[in-house]
Amino acid sequence: MSDHSGRQVVSAVPFGLLVSALVGLCFIVLSIAGYLLLRILNPVSPAITGIAFAVLLAGLLLPLKRAFTRVIPQDYAAAGLAMVTFLGGLIGLMYVTGAQLVSGFAELRESVFAALEAIQEWLRDGPLDAGEVGLSDYFQQAQDWVMGNSGSIVTGALAAGSRIGTFTVAAGLALVTAFFFLADGRRIWLWFISLLPSALEDRVDRAFSTGFQSVRAYVKTQAIVAAVDAVGIGLGALILGLPLVLPLTIVVFLASFVPVVGAFVSGALVVLIAGFSEGLTAALIMVGIVLLVQQIEGNVLQPLLMSKAVDLHPWGVIIGVTIGSYVYGIVGALFAVPVMAMIKVVVQSLRNPVTEPVGDPPGGPGWTEVLSNARTLGARALPARGSGKRAASGATSGGSGDAAAGGSADGRPDGDGPAVVDDAPLMGDAPDDPKPTT
């Protein structure tokens, strides 16, 4: 009786209202789950940040590692050489930037003091007619505010020092993790998906491998866009004779990796330095240069390149960057777009599994063989479940590991099986050593 009356009540509710209530309930449940997840992960956020940076860095350095692999056929040696090349370039750039900062800071300081004196003179003798007494009152109020809030200022400075320490730990973890992702990332990933049910391994592997490729495409595309921004604005600063041209160019390049907000903030910084160092005319010219470069980026490069890398609506990008910056600050704003792109691709891959066609097209192996690469690599990198044959085969590490795993040295199984697709691995290349990572 109660079941019948309950159905009557449900049937009396309009269908649209019922759907809206269910959607709202799902949204509330997901919001609560997300909040709890953030609270649980907050203590280990430096580790999460380091791993996230490692994924982006591995995606950026993977072509360089593969180029070294053609010369040095050892994954760890090639990955180490790629990391050393990256760190060497980074240290060299920091050295040159530091030298220019030391030489140009004195000039910039004098320009800033001169600009402040000009502003003070304008306030005293200009239309505001503040006078010496009024300016003294303003400066005294500012000094009193600093003295009254000295505790908050010291607390903020200590918090900034703590963040620097946390960033250092995350950066070290990112470098170490990126090295292992480049050298042995495929085997690490296969170990994780081996924990899933066998029926899900291929689908999850295919979905996240495709998602990682989208992240790689985004990183490479964003690097190109950031380089164009940095070169354009840096050339404008050089032509205008601004100090600290190289540091400003690097700041613009790094800030451009944060969508929407980064270009605006870095451009405003360059305009501000132009105004302090060269005057109002140079600042206005710099505004024009920044707007021109950003228009080329937004109307030409972004639609042409980014649409091929990630298919995300600009409104979604803005919302994602806003939420990411609110939750995790600058790091959240930086990772908002790649995380959204990866989630989108993974969900699409899981919802639309690839069907295997009957037969292969002429001229090479078909999708049936290509999609079996994940299973082939898994057989090479992990021991068969419930079987001790591989352990008893006496397989050795190094170059002989491929044969012991049932494949040839070029990544193919026995006979004329399909070759391993170059972009199939999630991170790094297929390992030579058949022993699994534990």
Crossing angle for the helix pair 75-125 and 245-255, nearest 10 degrees? 110
* The amino acid at 199: A
Residue pair 201/208 in contact by the 8 Å Cβ criterion: no
What is the 8-class DSSP label of residue 438? -
Tell me how far apart the terminal alpha carbons of the chain are, to the nearest angstrom: 58
Instruction: State the pLDDT at residue 409.
Output: 39
* 256/334 Cα distance (integer angstroms): 9
* 50/205 Cα distance (integer angstroms): 23
Vertex 182: Cα angle to 258 and 97 (nearest 5): 45
Rg (CA), the chain: 28
**Rounded to the nearest 10 degrees, how much is the dihedral formed by the CA atoms of 337, 342, 348, 352?**
160
Instruction: State the pLDDT at residue 222.
Output: 84
Instruction: State the pLDDT at residue 374.
Output: 43
Instruction: State the pLDDT at residue 175.
Output: 92
CA 266 remoteness from chain centre: 18
CA 76 remoteness from chain centre: 24
Please report which helix (H) or strand (E) contains residue 357, including its range.
none
The closest of 159, 171, 183 to 49, measured between CA atoms, is: 171
Q: In Å, what is the CA distance from 229 to each residue of 82, 219, 305, 324? A: 26, 15, 14, 23
Note the maximum CA span of the chain: 92
* The amino acid at 104: G
**Residues 6+ away with beta carbon under 8 Å from 1:** none
* 12/18 Cα distance (integer angstroms): 10
Instruction: State the pLDDT at residue 298.
Output: 74
Instruction: State the pLDDT at residue 79.
Output: 93
* The amino acid at 258: V
The closest of 306, 199, 290, 296 to 249, measured between CA atoms, is: 290
The closest of 236, 186, 224, 216 to 430, measured between CA atoms, is: 186
Instruction: State the pLDDT at residue 367.
Output: 42
Which residues on neighbouring strands pair with residue 413, listed in sequence order? Answer: 407
Instruction: State the pLDDT at residue 67.
Output: 92
Instruction: State the pLDDT at residue 159.
Output: 65
Residue identified by tokens 């792109």 is: 341
Mean pLDDT, the chain cut into blocks of 10 residues (438 residues total):
61 76 87 82 80 88 91 91 93 84 71 69 61 60 66 64 76 91 90 86 86 84 87 91 86 82 85 84 90 82 68 78 80 82 83 53 44 47 42 38 38 39 46 43
Instruction: State the pLDDT at residue 431.
Output: 44
Residue pair 261/268 in contact by the 8 Å Cβ criterion: no
**Residues 6+ away with beta carbon under 8 Å from 380:** 401, 402, 405, 406, 407, 411, 430, 431, 434
- Residue 267 has, within 13 A of its CA and on its CB side, a CA count of 23
List the beta strands (DSSP E) in 156-230. none
